[in-house]
């Protein structure tokens, strides 16, 4: 089955700096790669996703890149703010709407 | 995005008992999923629940322990049976929303003593 690895497990940045979280996956059949943000006491919230026919996608301060040849994808957050502090999960599935395989999560702390 | 609610939001249960968790969506959805998130851990899929068919369970999860109902396109239940402290987790339902993205409910926080 699919195995998703996520690094780093914790990340601390100063407000205004950029944060990068990286994931690799094992199943070449995976075609859908969402990112979720989970705040304490809440369910995961979808923040951005990318599909296999796209190499990069951007939404304001958040961007995701995908390299299908190398089987890795990354989340980039620019101009970080304290409210970006949360646990971020990457995931992969064979197609949108199907069950997701999650990475272990990255705890991001943005300090003022 | 779909609005998903779960009941109860949290519960403390005694070992050996069972708890049924409800998931309600504000629109009709074909696919619903149940995940478990153990303390400080990632999310693990328990089963996929489609209306009108038996739930499909992932390796390591069995119907006797986690029976699931899906009576209509907006509702599902997950029962955690014969609970032990190892079942203490957050249980999350998710649904396929617009553009086939997956949205999660707020979760049910379960503590088994």
Does B75 score more than 80 pLDDT? yes
Residue B35 scores a pLDDT above 90: yes
Residue A9 has pLDDT above 80, yes or no: yes
- Judge: B104–A36 Cβ closer than 8 Å, yes or no: yes
Contact A43 B96 (CB under 8 A): no
pLDDT digits (tens, 9 = 90+) for A18-34: 999 999 999 999 999 99
Residues 6+ apart with CB under 8 A from A75: A19, A20, A21, A22, A23, A35, A48, A62, A63, A64, A88, A90
Are B51 and B70 in contact by the 8 Å Cβ rule? The answer is: yes
CA distance A90 to chain B (A): 10
Mean pLDDT of A89-101: 90
State the pLDDT at residue A52: 80
* Distance (Å, whole) CA B109 – CA A8: 26
Report residue B26 CA to chain centroid gap. Answer: 16
CA distance B107 to B64: 22
pLDDT higher than threshold 80 for residue B99: no
User: What's the confidence (pLDDT) of residue B95?
Assistant: 93
Contact B107 A103 (CB under 8 A): no
Q: pLDDT at residue B4 above 90?
A: yes
Q: If we measure between CA atoms, which residue out of B85, B58, B52, B56 comes closest to residue B70?
A: B52
How much is the mean pLDDT over chain A? Answer: 94
With beta carbons under 8 A apart, name residues in chain A contacting B57. none
- Interface size, chain A vs chain B, as Cβ–Cβ contacts under 8 Å: 54
Cross-chain residue pair A36–B42, CB shorter than 8 Å: no
CB atoms within 10 A of CB A11: 17
For residue B37, the model assigns a pLDDT of 95
Mind listing the pLDDT tens digit for each residue in A35-89? 999 999 899 999 999 998 789 999 999 999 999 999 999 999 999 999 999 999 9
Instruction: Say if CB B108 and CB B21 are below 8 A apart.
Output: yes
B76 band by pLDDT with thresholds 50, 70 and 90 = very high
Tell me the backbone φ, ψ of residue B76, rounded to 5 degrees.
Answer: -155, 155
- Residue B1: pLDDT band (50, 70, 90) is confident
Query: CA distances (Å), A81 to each of A77, A88, A106, B94, in order?
Result: 10, 15, 16, 28
Structure tokens at B90: 């957050």
C-alpha distances (whole Å) from A55 to each of A9, A100, A103, A108, B49 are 24, 20, 20, 24, 32
């Amino acid at each position: 089955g699919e195995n998703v690895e996520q690094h780093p497990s914790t990340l601390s940045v100063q407000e205004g700096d950029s944060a990068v979280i990286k994931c690799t996956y094992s199943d070449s059949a995976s075609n859908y790669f969402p990112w979720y943000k989970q705040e304490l006491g809440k369910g995961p919230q979808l923040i951005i996703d990318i599909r296999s026919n796209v190499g990069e996608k951007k939404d304001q301060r958040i961007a995701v890149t995908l390299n299908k040849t190398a089987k890795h994808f990354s989340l980039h957050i620019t101009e970080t703010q304290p409210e970006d502090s949360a646990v971020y999960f990457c995931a992969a599935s064979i197609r949108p709407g199907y069950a997701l395989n999650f990475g272990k999560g990255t705890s991001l702390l943005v300090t003022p | 995005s779909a609005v998903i609610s779960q009941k109860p939001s949290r519960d403390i249960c005694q070992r050996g008992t069972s708890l049924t968790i409800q998931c309600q969506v504000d629109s009709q959805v074909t696919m619903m999923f149940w995940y478990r998130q153990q303390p400080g851990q990632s999310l693990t899929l328990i089963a996929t629940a489609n209306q009108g068919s038996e739930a499909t369970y992932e390796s390591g999860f069995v119907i006797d322990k986690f029976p699931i109902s899906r009576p209509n396109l907006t509702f599902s239940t997950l029962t955690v049976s014969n609970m032990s402290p190892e079942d203490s987790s957050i249980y999350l339902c998710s649904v396929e929303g617009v553009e086939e993205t997956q949205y999660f409910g707020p979760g049910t926080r379960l503590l088994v003593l």
